Amino acid sequence: MGGAQFFNQDLSPYCKRLKATIAVYDNFKPESKFHPNWGKDRVLEVIKTCGITQKSDEVGAEETDGVIITVNVPNVTSDKGVLRFALYDKATFMRTPLDGQITTIKEGKASIELKNVAPGAYAIICYHDGNNNDTFDYDNNGMPAEDWGMSNNPVLMGPPTFDSAKFTVENKSLDLTIKF
């Protein structure tokens, strides 16, 4: 973004991403006091280049305000533990999620809302953390020991890929169903 502004390039893709980043900072909860929780101040400073301040404009009010992804999982095998969800783009897939949420299970069903998602291509992976140990467990053969699923519900013969789970967010809310 730094160089783009000096070469008269369109800054709107960068601005959209920065707005979405604010929502990630607002929803982030460090796992402990030793986990980093800094960076929002710098994003707010850079976003001023877009002509947006947190006071004068709600961050994300243009394209991302109101863009909500509702994710439903209708077939959880047990109400024990929690479901853990992660939202990725292509660059972060299976590494550090853009957003993550945890929810309880009631009568074999669970759902979450991911708010203020910027338009773009994303994938969601979720798993049933039945023992609530904050880890996706594997058996002795390296196969998943806990139920899991991903957007688009692809049938895979190997590890998940971004392209098989990819969906597009535009300027409207979206409902997804993930089945285990």
- Rounded CA-CA distance 148/37 in Å is 28
Residues 158 and 73 in one domain: yes
pTM tops 0.85 = no
Residue type, position 169, single letter: V
Burial class (CB in 10 A: 0-12, 13-18, 19+), 20: buried
149: confidence class by pLDDT, cuts 50, 70, 90: very high
Question: Domain residues for 16?
Answer: 4-50
- Rounded CA-CA distance 33/166 in Å is 34
Q: What is the mean pLDDT of residues 149-175?
A: 92
Asked whether residue 104 is domain-assigned, the answer is yes
In angstroms, how far is the first alpha carbon of the chain from the final one? 40
DSSP conformation class of 2: T
For the chain, give the number of residues.
180
Lowest mean pLDDT segment, chosen from 28-37, 39-48, 166-175: 28-37
Written as six digits, the tokens of 143 are 């196969």
Number of domains in the chain: 2
Mean pLDDT for all residues in the chain:
83
Residues 76 and 159 in one domain: yes
Task: Provide the pLDDT for residue 36.
Answer: 73
Asked whether residue 168 is domain-assigned, the answer is yes
Lowest mean pLDDT segment, chosen from 39-43, 67-71, 85-89, 112-116: 39-43
Answer positive or negative: Cα dihedral of 38, 94, 125, 13. Answer: positive
- Rounded CA-CA distance 114/169 in Å is 12
Residues 103 and 171 in one domain: yes
Task: Provide the pLDDT for residue 174.
Answer: 93
Per-residue pLDDT tens digits for 73-121:
999 999 999 999 999 999 999 988 888 899 999 999 999 999 888 888 9
Residues 78 and 118 in one domain: yes
- Rounded CA-CA distance 57/80 in Å is 42
